[in-house]
Structure 1
Amino acid sequence: MSGELVTVFGGSGFLGRYVVRELCRAGYRVRVAVRFPHLAGDMRVGGAVGQVQIVQANVRNRPSVERALEDAWGVVNLVGILVEKGQQSFEGTQALGAKNVAELAAAAGVQKFVQMSAIGADDDSDARYAKTKAQAEDAVRKYMPNAVVLRPSILFGTEDEFFNRFAEMSRFTPFMPDIGGGKTKFQPVYVGDVAKAVTASLENDAAAGETFELGGPEVLTYREVLDYILKEIDRPRWFLPLPFFIAQPLGYVMGGLFKLWPFHEPPLTGDQVRMLRSDNVVSPDAKGFEALGVSDLETIEAIVPTYLWRYRPQGQFHEPKGA
């Protein structure tokens, strides 16, 4: 056990829970920095007694970030949003938040830094999500030049917001949105494998200052993903063609309507449609899992059925046709 203290910003989120557990397995002491500590008490069971500490921090609030960084050897910044809600904007949460964490980490003498980005991060992107992810990378590089940047494709796992979202949608609609012809390519990656990559990034000195793109073993189109989900939950559905020029304004309308009802996220936003215009796969010349020493990646077929069963007509008692 190394015993070094690693502060994980956004540690109670989907990816964060896996990262915290993986860091605990590797012997680190983990400080989970979250906005609402009273909702993250279960994080303490991720490690041994006293191994996990929970503190309040908001990446937009610099004093709270400073407190969370006290005596930290390493930092992992996982903070990110898919949909803007309330005061959580892409610019404030992703771009400014990463700048605050990196700048204050440098001032605190933090030795290791891992920034979670995303495939498609681009300063010139029309999608604000992708643009602010790139701005976050730039800010981190400015203050922590030796930081490791990880760019995963779409994450899958029990609590994911991709496979679960479309499976849930199929329960209430007779059709599924076939956006842009369904040709956009994805390389879904298991959230647990990305968590292993985070730990490897902290421990591998050769990774310092590098960017890694993380994709799973299989490349699928958007339409192939929907076909897989519907077959797995045994809910045949029609596909409604939605060209980009129709899907994008529809997404903006949905995003605007759901801002009036902030308790639920919209099924689609205009910014997400912009992201769908580009493939979400690992670049041919990019460094990936192999360069970090992470192998034996989990497949969709091995993991996704373990949680999609709940969307079948009779749940776990329903055997899909052809299974």
Structure 2
Amino acid sequence: MKSNKVCILGGTGFVGRHLAATLSANEVKCVIPSRHPQRHRNLQVAGQAELIQANPFDQQELEPLLEGCDAAVNLAGILNESGDKRSFKRIHIELTDTLVNACKAAGVRRLLHMSALNANEANGPSIYLKTKGEAENRAHTLGQPQIKITSFRPSVIFGEDDSFINRFASLLQMAPGPFPLACPNARFAPVYVGDVVQAMYNALDDPSTWGKHYDLCGPGTYTLKELVEYTAQTLGIHKWIVGLSPGLSALQARMLGLVPGKPFTYDNYLSMQVDSVCSEDGLGQLGIEATRLESVVPYFLGQRSERLRYYQLITRQR
């Protein structure tokens, strides 16, 4: 049976915005709980979702939003902690428990859960990966037998409005002199956000995906240094990328973890001690041909460069 209505936790985030667009284009109504729906009116204006003010951590507020939904999607997650209210345990584990219990109470029998590649409750090298692993395990165990759950474990996700390629692009454009890069040899298989969203859509109404965990990777594997060098080259920036040793990488992580916004933390450093590459082709299993990074990144970085040149021109004229 085709799903007609889906509730998305984390629907205002990077992947959530793309998923809402894909579902809406396929005539699936999206309901997105948000504490501050006024900040995301663009989703409503585009006709992609119904944003409803609610606290997703409160099961009593969540249950009415889930009633009448054919499925729920959990995209909630953070890369860095920021106080008790944005802790890994609260966002990854407690929110997952609340959603599963709310689904049971509201009669929702389908749940798509976003995890992370290398998520491992017992052996994850970082708190992020441990809590992601625990949340994934709890979703599958707590949901049984009523809820049919499918998990997705992507490598780093890229796209026009990502916080990965675009973050390095910003740093490269701002930083003077050589660019010191922590963990230069960490390996990734970046996966396109459009492919991640298509994987979730393909799995939504497919019973063969129930109870499964899909690793999602792009077709190419790169070191972090190669990705940053490619970003600089695509932007037309000539900059020396200096790979730091493990000791200096850890030191940089501890220092940047004290900076407002926490651009890089020691927990991030620990996550990068294990390569973010797939041993199985989850996209292929879901009938998707992975998109190459080189076919997408030049397009949105080119737009970024044009906006920067326009801003610089206007600034000079003033």
Assess same fold via TM > 0.5.
Answer: yes
Q: Does 1:8 align with 2:4?
A: no
1:268-293 deviation digits (Å, cap 9, x = unpaired): 1111111111100111xx35012112
Distance 1:77 1:46, change over 3 A: farther
Deviations 1:109-157 (A, max 9, x none): 2121100011010112231111111111011012224300001111111
**Matched residue, 1:162:** 164
Q: Is the CA contact (8 Å cut-off) linking 1:254 and 1:266 kept in structure 2?
A: yes
Q: Counterpart of 1:257 in 2: which secondary structure?
A: coil
1:267 equivalent among 263, 270, 291:
263
CA contact (8 A) 1:59 1:98 kept: no
Structure 1 residues 252 and 64, CA, compared in 2 at 3 Å: closer, same or farther?
Answer: farther
- State whether residues 22 and 197 of structure 2, in contact with CA within 8 Å, keep that contact through their aligned partners in structure 1: yes
Match status 1:198 vs 2:200 = yes
Question: Which ranges in structure 1 are unaligned for 5 or more consecutive residues?
Answer: 259-264, 318-323
Give yes or no for the alignment of 1:277 onto 2:270: no
Determine the structure 2 residue equivalent to 1:122: 120
Could you tell me which residue of structure 2 aligns to residue 290 of structure 1?
284
1:306 aligned to which of 284, 299, 302: 299
> What is the letter of the counterpart of residue 293 of structure 1?
G
User: Which residue does the alignment assign to 1:262?
Assistant: none
How far does residue 186 in structure 1 lie from its aligned partner after superposition? 0.6
**Which consecutive segments of 4 or more residues in structure 1 shift more than 3 A?**
310-317
Once the two structures are TM-superposed, the CA of residue 57 in structure 1 deviates from its matched residue by 3.2
Instruction: Give the 3-state SS of the residue equivalent to 2:86 in structure 1.
Output: coil
Inter-CA distance 289–313: structure 2 relative to 1 (3 Å threshold):
closer
Cα contact 1:24–1:46 (8 A) shared by 2: no
Which residue does the alignment assign to 1:261?
none
**Pairwise CA distance, 1:311:** 5.2
Distance 1:57 1:143, change over 3 A: farther
Distance 2:307 2:17 in 1: 29
1:201 deviates by 1.4
Gaps of at least 5 residues in structure 2 are 311-318
TM-score norm. by structure 1 comes to: 0.88
Identity over aligned residues, as a percent? 29
Within 1, Cα distance between the matches of 2:266 and 2:160? 26
Distance 1:314 1:282 in 2: 35
Given that residues 309 and 315 in structure 1 are in contact (C-alpha distance below 8 angstroms), is that contact kept between their aligned partners in structure 2?
Answer: no
How far did 1:313 drift? 8.8
Q: Deviations over 1:227-285 (max 9, x none)?
A: 10010011121223322222223312322232xxxxxx2221111111111100111xx
RMSD: 2.1
Aligned length: 304
TM-score (norm 2): 0.89
Q: Summarize the alignment of residues 94-173 of structure 1 with structure 2, pairs less than 5 Å apart.
A: 94-123=92-121, 124-145=123-144, 146-173=148-175
Q: Distance in 2 between matches of 1:212 and 1:61?
A: 29
Q: Give yes or no for the alignment of 1:91 onto 2:89.
A: yes
**Match of 2:51, as an amino acid?**
I
- Residue in 1 that maps onto 2:314: none
